[in-house]
Amino acid sequence: MPRRPAAALATSGEVLRLIRTGEAVTRADIGRVTGLSRPAVSLRVTELLDRRLVVEDSDGPSTGGRPPTRLV
């Protein structure tokens, strides 16, 4: 999947769209897809969680480290 410029997906609304469509379901996915930094991803996800637009689901499959928390 080609990486998009961070400026194109800088809003929380765009991050919400990625989660809803399943294009990005973890914080790491959001960073990879958008090119946003980890702190920028965290800020947007926290905003969506605070507004109760997304919730954290059970942990996803581990790839050797800590299992990722899925966003739905």
27, with CB counted inside 10 A (0-12, 13-18, 19+), is buried
Q: Which of 34, 71, 29 is nearest to 53 (CA)?
A: 71
pLDDT of residue 54: 96
pTM of the entire structure? 0.79
Q: Given this model, what pLDDT does residue 17 score? A: 96
* DSSP class per residue in 30-44: HHHHH---HHHHHHH
Q: Which pLDDT tens digit goes with each residue over 15-70?
A: 999 999 999 999 999 999 999 999 999 999 999 999 999 999 876 666 677 778 89
pLDDT for 41: 96
